[in-house]
């Protein structure tokens, strides 16, 4: 199929882009990499009256080190850059690892970090990794700018809290130590994940809001993707690891609790029950990866 008719606009500045969005009154789509949007246009699942091309906005580009050891990543940062950038691999290795699982090379060459987040696909790798890292998003609109935790962005399946005239401009990520785990199950390499889990253990360079006091001050964050209508903090698993020795038995108990926080769909690729089972298995694997890399291999 071919897209329904639309007008095309290529603003020269962020201010021009947000003013244009405000004038369109919600009937526009933003084009960055287009890896999700273009198929939706072709299948007429999206029918905007105006397509606003952001690729001329240089202020949305760039990977900039921050004083706390983290990074500020422009929304137009391509997935491929996340996998190859030495500063990303050094300061936030989890993000580089997650980006390698996104689609195929052609998709990673065009797809953007901001597009992946704003599209809000619950099976996407990068939003889950950023949530585990405690990332913040920067947003600009016709009425000004705002910054807030990434967790507040997701409203549900392919839905965010962004206003119609707002554009996600950048993501800020704290620096990260070696304690990371990332694992997913897909039907074939490059396919969307049936389920996946990200784990971060210790080593974050910025205080995080946690629902409990972590064991010996060790930060543990576990996020599932493909197991709900958005990336999900698996807090039941996190809570079981609080105040307990981080041994193999504790990891197994935490993995068993992960399914309680999941609300996955059933489809032709797998049932909800199967995805809950995957969440349990993958949580244990991701935790073992993260603890081992942090020098805390469970016994």
- pLDDT of residue 104 exceeding 60, the answer is yes
> Could you tell me which of 61, 60, 59, 49 has the C-alpha nearest to residue 9?
49
Q: One fold for both 7-53 and 180-293? A: no
- Average pLDDT on 266-294 reads 96
Quick one: angle between helices 248-258 and 272-293, nearest 10? 150
- pLDDT of residue 91 exceeding 70, the answer is yes
Q: How confident is the model at residue 217 (pLDDT cuts 50, 70, 90)?
A: low
Question: What's the maximum distance between 2 C-alpha atoms anywhere in the chain?
Answer: 61
Kindly indicate whether the domain formed by 7-53 is annotated with CATH number 3.30.43.10.
yes
Answer CATH for 180-293 from 3.30.420.40, 3.30.390.50, 3.40.50.300, 3.40.630.30:
3.30.390.50
Radius of gyration of the chain (CA): 19
- Alpha helix segments (H runs only) across the chain: 14-24, 37-42, 79-84, 86-91, 93-99, 105-110, 113-119, 125-132, 235-240, 248-258, 272-293
Percent of the chain clearing pLDDT 90 (strictly above): 86
Q: How confident is the model at residue 211 (pLDDT cuts 50, 70, 90)?
A: very low
Q: How confident is the model at residue 207 (pLDDT cuts 50, 70, 90)?
A: very low
Instruction: Give the global pTM.
Output: 0.94
**What are 55's two structure tokens?**
């690729």
What pLDDT, in 10s, does the model give residues 236-264? 999 999 877 889 999 999 999 999 999 99
What pLDDT, in 10s, does the model give residues 139-177? 999 999 999 999 999 999 999 999 999 999 999 999 998
Per domain, the residue ranges of the chain are 7-53, 61-173, 180-293
- pLDDT of residue 1 exceeding 80, the answer is no
Residue with more model confidence, 153 or 296: 153
The pLDDT, as a whole number, for residue 216 is: 55
- Average pLDDT on 261-272 reads 96
The pLDDT, as a whole number, for residue 177 is: 87
In terms of CATH architecture, what is 61-173? 2-Layer Sandwich (3.30)
What pLDDT, in 10s, does the model give residues 2-33? 899 999 999 999 999 999 999 998 899 999 99
3-state secondary structure of 146: strand
| Bridge partners (DSSP) listed for residue 171 | 73, 137
């Amino acid at each position: 199929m071919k897209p329904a008719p639309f007008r095309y606009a290529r603003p020269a500045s962020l201010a021009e882009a947000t003013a244009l969005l405000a004038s369109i009154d919600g009937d526009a789509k933003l084009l960055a990499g287009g890896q999700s949007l273009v198929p939706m246009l072709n299948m007429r699942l999206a029918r905007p009256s105006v397509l606003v091309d952001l690729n001329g906005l240089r202020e949305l580009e760039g990977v900039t080190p921050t004083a706390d050891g983290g990074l500020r990543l422009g929304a137009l940062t391509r997935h491929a850059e996340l996998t190859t950038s030495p500063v990303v691999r050094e300061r936030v290795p989890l993000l580089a690892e997650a980006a390698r699982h996104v689609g195929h090379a052609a998709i990673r060459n065009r797809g953007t970090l901001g597009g992946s987040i704003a599209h809000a696909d619950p099976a996407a790798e990068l939003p889950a990794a950023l949530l585990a890292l405690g990332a913040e998003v920067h947003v600009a609109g016709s009425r000004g700018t705002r910054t807030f935790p990434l967790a507040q962005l997701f409203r549900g399946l392919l839905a965010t809290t962004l206003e119609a005239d707002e554009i996600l401009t950048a993501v800020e990520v704290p620096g990260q130590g070696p304690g990371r785990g990332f694992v997913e199950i897909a039907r074939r390499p490059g396919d969307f994940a049936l389920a996946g889990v990200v784990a971060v253990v210790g080593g974050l360079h910025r205080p995080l809001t946690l629902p409990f006091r972590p064991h010996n001050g060790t930060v543990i964050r576990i996020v599932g993707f493909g197991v709900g209508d958005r990336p999900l903090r698996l807090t039941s698993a996190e809570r079981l690891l609080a105040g307990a020795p981080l041994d193999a038995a504790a990891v197994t108990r935490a993995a068993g609790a992960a399914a309680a926080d999941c609300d996955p769909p059933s489809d032709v690729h797998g049932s909800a029950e199967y995805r809950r089972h995957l969440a349990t298995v993958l949580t244990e694997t991701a935790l073992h990866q993260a603890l081992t890399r942090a020098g805390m291999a469970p016994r």
